[in-house]
Structure 1
Amino acid sequence: MGNLSRARRVTAALGFIGLLFAVLGIIMIVMVPSIIKQQVLKNVRIDPNSLSFNMWKEIPVPFYLSVYFFNIVNPEEIIQGQKPKVQERGPYVYREFRHKSNITFNNNDTVSFLEYRSYQFQPDKSRGQESDYIIMPNILVLSASMMMENRPGILKLIMTLAFSTLGQRAFMNRTVGEIMWGYDDPLIHLINQYFPNSLPFKGKFGLFAELNNSDSGLFTVFTGVKDFSRIHLVDKWNGVSKVNFWHSDQCNMINGTSGQMWAPFMTPESSLEFYSPEACRSMKLIYKEQGVFGGIPTFRFVAPNTLFANGSVYPPNEGFCPCRESGIQNVSTCRFNAPLFLSHPHFYNADPVLAEAVSGLHPNPEEHSLFLDIHPVTGIPMNCSVKLQLSLFLKSVKGIGQTGNIQPVVLPLMWFEESGAMEGETLDTFYTQLVLMPKVLNYAQYVLLALGCVLLLIPIIYQIRSQEKCYLFWISFKKGSKDKEAVQAYSEFLMTSAPKGTVLQEARL
């Protein structure tokens, strides 16, 4: 009797535990997605209390700037009118350091900040030294010549004499360090002396001189604390909501984010839009495919074919014109009126005539396309590679002897890649908190539900079996009683004497 009572208590306890597990599993199935969403929303907004704030403030991902130069093989022949030949040199790799300062939270759910950048040469990752010499177009001479094309002949003559006096030629031989970070040029000193404020720089001239140890402008972006629908979107840059470099409102709009984080919960229909101060415009990338980086699911976004298309191919880009061949963007209006063009490296995804006009160019998607791999749940970049090329349009300008017989050509100067990938402890923490834990919770809810159902079956089965045993016992008891009565009656019959006259017959088998 005691064993039976103990068994009933055990099965009842297991049933109660099973019920709890099943209810908890159902609650988790209903609530966990909402809880995860709320935690993501809480931790990706720009708030000192969010998990991603320090990542936003001091980017833990190591960024590298890799620069490739197009060394001119035949400068004298180009002046005589022959086709340019170039040889790619590099990469010259720099470690890029970024940090935000002057962080100010405003009353309208925005935060303003300056992001400073500095670069440190990495000899072990580079193919060459900063002391390497590169022959490339003299941007100052050729740009000034283009600006004087429609001026009176006397001014062109004066400029020719000035170039000759200062030893200026159409092509120059400078070190990588000078081209990158600046060199003293007598022409700059002369212009600043006689035409003050006509140049945006006073000291050395270099392609990246204005980027090193400087900020990228004052960004004001939405924090997402009060209005999550606008999280990370740029409200203003340098105090304006649109620039005035281009010829249409659409092209002048400052759209998207500052290029570091995007809104979470992306889908394949999402796009990545960001404002680039270096390109003086907003850019939009489109979804390409799903992937995995370090065990973390990602969406890959790439540049559409229309990113640098001219106005005749893609009408919304008409505002960036005057345009040349499709695939290159004229950035002269935001680069001191110098005839500079932005494109993909080696004129990838551009009109083939551009690459055919210069010997030594070999565009291909594997080496020259850009991409960003984003964790779609949080909108945080995992791996990125942004590649752009800077080119100079040059031609002979009648009246300026230094330009000789140069045939019109868009000549690549250099291309660069900004790349970064989450790694080390940061990647491990990200994986644990934002991938592993949600996955464990997702599995746990179904395990609890299944285990609860199994435990609930135990008392049910026990009850069914107990009822069967009672039924069998009752049937057995009833059957046993009838047998006993029959045996007893037969025994009494045998023991009773037979009546007189009765003849007992022999039983036969």
Structure 2
Amino acid sequence: MCCDCCGVTQQKVWVFGIGAIFAISGLLFVIWWPGFIDNMIMESLPLTPTSKTYDKWIEIPIPMYMRMYLWNWTNAEDVKLNGAKPNFKQCGPYVYREERTKMDLEFNENKTVTFKQRRTWYWEEELSGGKQDDMLTLPHLPSIAASISMRNSPKLIKMFFNAALNENGGALYVTHTANEWLFEGFYDEFLHYAMSLNNPLAPPIETDHFAWFLNRNESKEFEGVFTIHSGVGDLKEMGEIKFWNGKNHTGFYDGECGRLNGSTSDLFVPNEPKEKPLTLYITDTCRIINLEFSGQSYEIEGIQGWKYEITPHTFDNGQRNGNMKCYCSAEKQAANNCPASGATDLGPCADDVPMYLSADHFMYADESYANTITGTEPNYERDNFFIIMERKLGVPLQVNAAVMISLFIEEDTDIDILKGLPSFYAPLFSSTSQAVINKELASELKLALNLPAIGRWTGVGFLCVGCILIIVGIVLTIKRKWRGQAAADRAALINKDLGSTSNTPD
């Protein structure tokens, strides 16, 4: 603005005009911008082939790690020969970097998306607390599972089974390397024998090799087919699982305990109340897991998140919460033989093998589990299953998904490998999936979270500038300090005097 070439009136138009523009713009930013930008961000969240959410969902952009622990049975021979109390030592962690990729995507007309998930694991020796060639002794699950399936058979049949078990590699425990137990697998003589029988009454046996994650690395088929809501048209449904393998019920547990709901852990409903629990469905656990609001907040990479974690109720079987009784089968309920609180019976999804899901080291579990063995030492900070969640956009900032799988072993006097044993819960392996948001994704998230405030404070700045300009204009007007105002006043005074003189009579 060139004040030297502007008259007083022009100066006033410029100052008051610009001041009004700044003030009105600032007022609009303060009132309208936060809601507008929030709506724009929320509208960009639903899962579509062109949304920003899509790329981050199709392949998780932050580093994830699976920390595996194997429980070495240190006194297996003493237990077998003398009935000693079993002792287990947790070995590891054996750490693998994990990549998740969604495969075979299909966007459906009902605003859902169907996909398969492929997980790929890469060995991370520098992060591990053990070597892949560590020799570890664990219960021989194939032999024990087969023996358990024969427990209620007639004695004559059990006698023939026992002879076959002894002659074909049956064992209470075996020793192999950590890598063989986890991914590589080992040839198992008893499995080979069981395959050759082709027994139509027994679960199908597809291989004579055994490992906890055999043939799972890079497989897109293992976890099944998921169908989730895309969030299009209803953000409150975003990421909610609708079907798994074409069904909305797992079939493993009765009623609500088998109903599918919650997230597959990759996509969460945004803008939920912070007190609302997080619900996850993880295929390996055969059930949903509710993480309760802890009331604790944490700042990660400059972003505030709230902690959601398991509680003593998470793996209850009806003793603490009557609604959880459906995790105990109707038959066991009728016989008053439900598992004690703290561990979920995985038998319904493990061909009736008495395997149990719990927090690591039997944390929160009834003492009857850990008391059958020695070697477990629960530690809340280490063994807790939790997610720290930014709730507005539904983004996990940190994940520590820790669980343990154990096997219930008890005596059977008709089967040699189980004869003379105490009853005990043998921990097999513990798994912890860990992830923390990286700086790049955190920067994007912070920008999205701060845009409403940035607009609001920009509006406040504009409003202040506008008000200052208007006030300055008012002061200059009152004090008559505009550039050229004095000359204009003198000219006006001279004109007034001349006018008065010319009107004086001769």
Which of the five TM-score ranges fits, normalised by the shorter chain? Answer: 0.7 to 0.9
Q: Which residue of 1 aligns with 2:90?
A: 88
Inter-partner Cα distance in structure 1 for 2:25 and 2:198: 78
Query: Deviation at 1:139?
Result: 1.2
Q: Which residue of 1 aligns with 2:504?
A: none
State the Cα RMSD in Å: 2.3
For residue 443 of structure 1, the aligned residue among 424, 444, 457 is: 457
- Residue 172 in 1 paired to residue 178 in 2? no
The one-letter amino acid paired with 1:162 is A
Inter-partner Cα distance in structure 2 for 1:358 and 1:439: 56
Inter-partner Cα distance in structure 1 for 2:355 and 2:385: 20
Query: Deviation at 1:11?
Result: 4.6
Q: Which residue of 2 aligns with 1:14?
A: 15
Once the two structures are superposed, what CA deviation does each residue of 1:352-391 show, in whole Å capped at 9, x if it has no partner? 3322332111101100001112222211222211000000
Q: Which residue of 1 aligns with 2:302?
A: 295
**Stretch moving more, 440-449 or 88-97:** 440-449
Query: Deviation at 1:333?
Result: 0.9
Aligned 8 A contact 2:34 2:455 in 1: no
For residue 190 of structure 1, the aligned residue among 177, 188, 193 is: 193
Percent of aligned positions with the same letter in both sequences? 25
The DSSP-based 3-state class of the residue aligned with 1:36 is: helix
The one-letter amino acid paired with 2:203 is L
Q: Which residue of 2 aligns with 1:407?
A: 422
Aligned 8 A contact 1:256 1:282 in 2: yes
Inter-partner Cα distance in structure 1 for 2:399 and 2:430: 16
Q: Which residue of 2 aligns with 1:366?
A: 381
- Residue 464 in 1 paired to residue 472 in 2? no
Structure 2, unaligned runs of 5 or more: 333-337, 494-506
Aligned 8 A contact 1:387 1:415 in 2: yes
Inter-partner Cα distance in structure 2 for 1:441 and 1:113: 38
- Residue 36 in 1 paired to residue 37 in 2? yes
Q: Which residue of 2 aligns with 1:487?
A: none
Q: Which residue of 2 aligns with 1:66?
A: 67
- Residue 255 in 1 paired to residue 261 in 2? yes
Query: Deviation at 1:166?
Result: 2.0
Aligned 8 A contact 1:42 1:50 in 2: no
Query: Deviation at 1:104?
Result: 0.6
Inter-partner Cα distance in structure 2 for 1:5 and 1:116: 71
Query: Deviation at 1:449?
Result: 2.0
Once the two structures are superposed, what CA deviation does each residue of 1:171-217 show, in whole Å capped at 9, x if it has no partner? 11111112112222121122222134633441122212253222321
Inter-partner Cα distance in structure 1 for 2:325 and 2:358: 16
TM-score, L = length of structure 1:
0.87
Q: Which residue of 2 aligns with 1:484?
A: none
The one-letter amino acid paired with 1:170 is L
Aligned 8 A contact 1:18 1:451 in 2: yes
Once the two structures are superposed, what CA deviation does each residue of 1:110-139 show, in whole Å capped at 9, x if it has no partner? 111111112121111112221111111111
Q: Which residue of 2 aligns with 1:505?
A: none
The DSSP-based 3-state class of the residue aligned with 1:378 is: coil
Aligned 8 A contact 2:315 2:344 in 1: yes
Q: Which residue of 2 aligns with 1:158?
A: 160
The one-letter amino acid paired with 1:398 is T
Aligned 8 A contact 1:340 1:392 in 2: yes
Q: Which residue of 2 aligns with 1:504?
A: none
Aligned 8 A contact 2:235 2:270 in 1: no
For residue 209 of structure 1, the aligned residue among 192, 200, 214 is: 214
The one-letter amino acid paired with 2:192 is H
For residue 139 of structure 1, the aligned residue among 134, 138, 141 is: 141
Query: Deviation at 1:428?
Result: 3.2
Q: Which residue of 1 aligns with 2:26?
A: 25
Inter-partner Cα distance in structure 1 for 2:478 and 2:179: 87
**Stretch moving more, 275-284 or 421-430:** 421-430
**Stretch moving more, 204-213 or 132-141:** 204-213
Structure 1, unaligned runs of 5 or more: 478-509
